[in-house]
Amino acid sequence: MAEYNITIKPSALKELEDVPKKIAQQIVKRIGHMGSNPRPIGCQKLSGQERYRIRQGDYRIIYGINDSTKAIDVIKIGHRRKVYL
């Protein structure tokens, strides 16, 4: 399987700064693994959107996948209570 290029929106990077450091490290690791498998076990497609989400504890990573260009765009990172608003 080909590697996907991962881009993270600047707003998502700011949201990552607000996450506790231990969990932030796990989130970064999880995002890195998405390059080889953009739809890992536990990933779910969001209804009404062309976006997916994966869980990391109480935090969610919202991202889009473009299979034709082999690109992943991380759109939002946040606590499960606030990320879908």
Burial class (CB in 10 A: 0-12, 13-18, 19+), 75: buried
User: Residue 42 belongs to what domain range?
Assistant: 5-79
As a whole number of angstroms, the distance between CA 52 and CA 65 comes to 8
Domain-embedded: residue 53: yes
Domain-embedded: residue 85: no
Q: What pTM was computed for the model?
A: 0.91
1 pLDDT tier (thresholds 50, 70, 90): low
**Per the structure, how many domains does the chain have?**
1
Higher-pLDDT residue of 84, 31: 31
Q: What is the DSSP letter of 13?
A: H
The number of angstroms, rounded, from the C-alpha of 13 to the middle of its chain's C-alpha atoms is: 11
Domain-embedded: residue 37: yes
Query: Chain-wide mean pLDDT for the chain?
Result: 93
Which two three-digit tokens encode residue 56?
């990391």
Domain-embedded: residue 27: yes
Domain-embedded: residue 84: no
Domain-embedded: residue 40: yes
3-state class (DSSP) for residue 56:
strand
At 34, which CATH number? Answer: 3.30.2310.20
Average pLDDT on 31-58 reads 93
pLDDT at 9: 97
CA atoms within 13 A on the CB side of 3: 6
Higher-pLDDT residue of 12, 48: 12
3-state class (DSSP) for residue 32:
helix
Residue 10 has pLDDT above 70, yes or no: yes
**Each residue of 53-72: pLDDT tens digit?**
999 999 999 999 999 999 99
